[in-house]
Chain A
Amino acid sequence: MEGFLGGLAILIDPYVMLMVLLGTVLGIFVGALPGISGSTTIALLLPMTIAMGPIPAICFLGAIYCAANFGGSITAIMVNAPGDPSASATALEGFKMAEKGQAGLALGISAIASAIGGIVSVFVLIVAAPLLARAAYSFGPPEYFAIALFGLSMCAAIGGDSPLKNLIAAVLGLLIATVGMDLTTGIERFSFGIYELSDGIGFVPVLIGLFAVGEMLDQAAKRVGKAQIIHLDAARVPGWAEFKKCNRSIWVGSAVGTFIGVLPALGATTAALIGYNETRRWSKYKHEFGKGSIEGVAGPEAANNAAVGGSMVPTLALGIPGSATTAIILAGLIVQGVRPGPHLFTEQPTLLYAVFASMLAANLFYLVMGLSMAKLFARISLIPPAILWPSVFVLSVIGAYGPNQSMGDVLVMLVAGVVGFLFRRTGFSPAPLIMGLVLGAMVEETLKQSLIIFDDDLAGFLGRPIALTLFALTITGLLWPMVSRLLRGGRAARA
Chain B
Amino acid sequence: MTGSMKLPRRGLLIGAAAVGSVLSAPAKVRSQAAFPSRIVEIVTHAGVGGGTDITARMMMVQAPAVFGQEFTVVNRTAGSGAQALQYVASKPADGHTIILMTQTHILTQLRNPSLPQFADFIPVARATADPHLVLVRRDSPFRTPADLINAGKERSLRFGGTHVGGTDHVVIFAFGRASGIQRPTLVPFRGGGEVVINVVGGNVDTAVVNPGEAEAQLRAGEVRPLISLAETRLEAFADVPTAKELGIDATGYTLRGFCVFKGTPDDRVARLESGLIEAMSGQVYRTYLQNTGQMPESVTGREAWGAQLTQFNRDGREALQALGLLRG
Question: Which residues in A have some Cβ–Cβ distance to B below 8 Å?
Answer: 9, 13, 15-16, 39-40, 42-44, 46-47, 50-53, 55-56, 136-141, 181-187, 195-196, 198-199, 264-265, 317-321, 324, 327-328, 331, 334-337, 339-343, 403-406, 408, 445, 449, 452-453
Contacts and interface: CB of A to CB of B under 8 A. Distances in A.
A453 B187 contact: yes
Contacts of A317: 216
A405 to B, nearest CB: 6
B116 interface: no
B101 interface: no
B54 A331 contact: yes
B25 to A, nearest CB: 20
Interface in B160-216: 163-166, 169, 185-190, 193-194, 196-198, 200-204, 212, 215-216
B325 A186 contact: yes
A50 B15 CA distance: 12
Interface string B34-57: 000000000000011101011001
B166 A186 contact: yes
Given A185-B164, A320-B193, A342-B216, A406 B292 contact: no
Contact of A195 (B60, B82, B194, B217): B82
A342 B188 contact: no
Given A55-B4, A56-B7, A183-B188, A198 B216 contact: no
Interface stretch (B73-81, B119-127, B228-236, B242-250): B73-81
A186 B61 CA distance: 36
B1 interface: yes
Contacts of A198: 78-80, 82
Q: Which 6 A-B pairs have the closest CB atoms?
A: A341-B216, A51-B11, A195-B79, A186-B165, A43-B49, A319-B216
5 contacts: A137-B201, A184-B163, A195-B82, A199-B77, A341-B219
Contacts of A337: 287, 291
Contacts of B200: 137
B189 A449 contact: yes
Nearest to B5: A15
Nearest to A185: B164
A328 B54 CA distance: 9
A321 B192 CA distance: 10
B7 A51 contact: yes
Contacts of B164: 182-186
Contacts of A265: 190, 194
A405 B76 contact: yes
A184 B188 contact: yes
A171 to B, nearest CB: 24
Contact of A324 (B10, B49, B57): B49
A140 B203 contact: yes
Contacts of B193: 264, 319-321, 327
